[in-house]
Amino acid sequence: MKEDSVLFVFYNLSKNNYWEYNRMPEDWRWTGKGFTRPFSPNKNRKKSEKNSLFENEEQFNGPIETINNMKEYLNEFFTNLKNNNKIDDFKISDFYEP
């Protein structure tokens, strides 16, 4: 059985935009997106959770053997979004660290 890996992309939108992922590396899949900030404030939340640099995140899963290919794909994809003013900035991570 192949071991799956997880990648997160954290980003800030310039404005509301929509995009689709095409031609991802084989066996990689988009598994969801969300916000890095809570909907309601929580006084007990850690300081690092309150001060996230990025407001949005998307998650991808796939084989650990091709994780570098997926990182390259995501870097190119999100660089293109940034160059087209769809997002302000982004970060790719193996861990949930917005």
C-alpha to C-alpha distance for 69 and 63, rounded to whole angstroms: 10
pTM summary value:
0.81
Better-predicted residue by pLDDT, 76 or 51: 76
pLDDT band at residue 12 under the 50/70/90 scheme:
very high
pLDDT tens digit sequence for 62-71: 999 999 999 9
C-alpha to C-alpha distance for 25 and 9, rounded to whole angstroms: 16
C-alpha to C-alpha distance for 3 and 88, rounded to whole angstroms: 33
pLDDT tens digit sequence for 66-98: 999 999 999 999 999 999 999 999 999 998 887
Contact 61/28 with Cβ under 8 angstroms? yes
Task: Supply the pLDDT for residue 2.
Answer: 65
